[in-house]
Amino acid sequence: ETGVTQTPRHLVMGMTNKKSLKCEQHLGHNAMYWYKQSAKKPLELMFVYNFKEQTENNSVPSRFSPECPNSSHLFLHLHTLQPEDSALYLCASSQAWDGGSTDTQYFGPGTRLTVL
């Protein structure tokens, strides 16, 4: 596997379900990100992890719970979601945060989530 992978690619869940999204990067990066892409809205940053530590939570509701056990893996745990949470969830990775802005973020293919 190369690049950034995400599983599952599609997920349908009810509002009372608990599910998890998984992201894995094979690029040797130390920073990982979750983004949300909704129809007709710009991509929204959700969380940032740098060397496994969460460095940003962009006012995301607590029904979304991220986990970063190591620099290669990132999870997004979902519980009691709402229909408006239906979206494409994108994971990305980059080199460690070194204080510069030139880093390139590499994206996975996304998980298409539908909440019924």
Partner 1 sequence: GNSVTQMEGPVTLSEEAFLTINCTYTATGYPSLFWYVQYPGEGLQLLLKATKADDKGSNKGFEATYRKETTSFHLEKGSVQVSDSAVYFCALSEYTGRRALTFGSGTRLQVQP
The residue ranges that bind partner 1 (CB under 8 A) are 4, 6, 31, 33, 40-43, 45, 48, 50, 55-56, 58, 90, 92, 94, 97, 99-110
Where are the extended beta strands (E) located within the chain? 4-7, 10-13, 18-25, 31-37, 44-50, 53-57, 64-70, 73-79, 87-94, 106-107, 111-115
Sign of the dihedral through C-alpha 75, 30, 61, 83: negative
CB of 45 to partner 1, least distance (A): 4
CB of 86 to partner 1, least distance (A): 16
- In the complex with partner 1, the residue whose CB is nearer, 75 or 97, is 97
CB of 87 to partner 1, least distance (A): 13
